[in-house]
Amino acid sequence: MKILFITNSYPSENLPVAGYLQDIAVELVHQGHEVRVLVHSDSNKPKQFKTNGVEVIEYPISIFWTPRLYKHTEIIASLKRSVLAWVELFLSFINSFFYLRKYAKDCDIVHAVWYLPSGLVASLGNVSFKKPFVVTALGAEFHLPENPVFKTLLRYVHRSSNAATANSRYLIKKAYNYQLSMDHFSYIPTAINFEGYPDRKPETKKKLVIASICRLIPAKRAQDLIEAIALLPSEIAKEIEIWVVGDGPEKSRLMDLTRARNLDSQTRFLGMIPHNHSVGFGSHHAYV
């Protein structure tokens, strides 16, 4: 099969995000399928390359400036911080539609990752290219305000798709809040490919490490981990080390929170870490 993904995120040299999608695409190639990925470029220039057998087409939102729409690793955060991001959101729909129509004619199936904006672009484009269309929910789309506009857009994408998937049963339950039909909704958990990960195991248990690995945005609730440990008796809390792995607009607020809860000396903010990079557990026993 010739499979075309359209997505907001895919690993690049500058941003090691959406590794799960890369794992899926590479595995499909190993199974003998042809895979293309359409994704916004983090620059104002188009780029096309092949990595691990997957053809990646990075297309610009605007050719006149470096985009700000994904500057804060999340669309909503970027829109709150920049008026230009709103202009780019409109441009991104136009460019995404143009590139999707260009490449969809040569594929057998289109897979949109996230209902908005990728799923909406694919739904509108499918009127002309008439290809089987799958949409996957990963979380953000079912944490939008439950107002008539978002409900209408989500229902339109859902009805337009031939199949819909979510990576957790929780998201399928959340979909009820937007009146989405469950007729062709499937739960498919995100798999993890352990090849390429460093083979390191903790040696002796001296200190408990609790790690949060996510984009640092409000919906991920990394702050709950900090608040929970702050509620523990001091003799227990001081034996715990907190690792916050990831980046995003909430980072500075989380750092302020650790200082306010007197946990800054035992909290490590490690930023984004590529899958093949070892942080090193040393003599720690870690829970993620």
Task: Let me know how many helices (H) and strands (E) the chain has, helices first.
Answer: 9, 12
Give the whole-angstrom CA distance, residue 25 versus residue 96: 20
Evaluate whether 42 touches 15 at the Cβ level (below 8 Å): yes
In CATH, what number does 207-287 get?
3.40.50.2000
The reported pLDDT for the residue numbered 286 is 41
The per-residue pLDDT for range 88-107, each reduced to its tens digit, is 888 888 889 999 999 998 99
Residue 7 has pLDDT above 60, yes or no: yes
Mean pLDDT, residues 159-180: 91
Give the whole-angstrom CA distance, residue 113 versus residue 6: 6
Give the whole-angstrom CA distance, residue 194 versus residue 246: 19
Q: What is the pTM of this model?
A: 0.78
DSSP β-bridge partners for residue 136: 113, 165
Residue 70 parent element (H or E):
none
Give the whole-angstrom CA distance, residue 260 versus residue 182: 44
Residue 159 has pLDDT above 90, yes or no: yes
The reported pLDDT for the residue numbered 281 is 45
Give the whole-angstrom CA distance, residue 230 versus residue 148: 39
Q: Are strands 54-59 and 109-113 parallel, antiparallel or unpaired?
A: unpaired
Tell me which long-range contacts 181-187 makes (C-beta under 8 A, separation of at least 24): none
CATH level 3 topology of 2-187: Rossmann fold (3.40.50)
pLDDT band for position 285 (50/70/90)? very low
Phi, psi of 211, rounded to the nearest 5 degrees: -115, 140
Same fold, 2-187 and 207-287: yes
The reported pLDDT for the residue numbered 204 is 55
The reported pLDDT for the residue numbered 126 is 87
Of residues 182, 128, 173, the one with CA closest to residue 155: 182
Query: Which residue has better confidence, 140 or 208?
Result: 208
**DSSP per-residue string spanning 99-161:** HHHHHHTT-SEEEEESIIIIIHHHHHHHHHH---EEEEE-SGGGGS--SHHHHHHHHHHHHH-
Give the whole-angstrom CA distance, residue 10 versus residue 39: 7
Give the whole-angstrom CA distance, residue 84 versus residue 25: 32
Domain definitions of the chain by residue range: 2-187, 207-287
Of residues 69, 92, 67, 96, the one with CA closest to residue 4: 96
